[in-house]
Amino acid sequence: MSVVSARTFNQSPSAVKAMAKEGPVIVTDRGRPTIVVMDYDEYERLSDGGGSVRDSLVIDVDVEFEPVVARDLGQVPQL
């Protein structure tokens, strides 16, 4: 993953686009990450065609799950 300044991004957008073909490019403004430039095909792969995050977390198998409920609330602190 590459990192460039906002100044470099503004002065050489074609260079940043070329870098994005190799992987995501983080653009910083005053040292703080502000945007990410990436290849559109990679974006499509990561976003799975625009589905929601919830949809991407769905598991197509049955999972047995028994939640543990804590009945002990602990002690109230002495102030």
Find out whether 1 and 23 touch, Cβ atoms under 8 Å.
Answer: yes
How many whole angstroms from its chain centre is CA 56?
A: 13
Assess if residue 55 is contained within a domain.
Answer: no
Q: What's the confidence (pLDDT) of residue 56? A: 61
Cβ pair 76, 66 in contact under 8 A: no
Could you tell me if residue 71 is inside a domain? Answer: no
Burial pattern 16-49, b for ≥16 Cβ within 10 A else e, equals beebbeeebbebbeeeeeeeebbeeeeeeeeeee
- Let me know if residue 31 belongs to a domain: yes
CATH number of the domain encompassing residue 43: 3.40.1620.10
Residue 72 lies inside a defined structural domain of this protein: no
Q: Where is pLDDT greater, at 58 or 11?
A: 11
Whether the predicted model's global pTM rises above the 0.75 cut: no
Looking at the domain assignment, is residue 43 inside a domain? Answer: yes
Residue 10 lies in a domain: yes
Domain count, the chain: 1
Residue 30 within a domain? yes
pLDDT digits (tens, 9 = 90+) for 11-33: 999 999 999 999 899 999 998 99
Which residue range forms the structural domain that includes residue 33? 2-49
Categorize the per-residue pLDDT at 1 as very low, low, confident or very high, splitting at 50, 70 and 90: confident
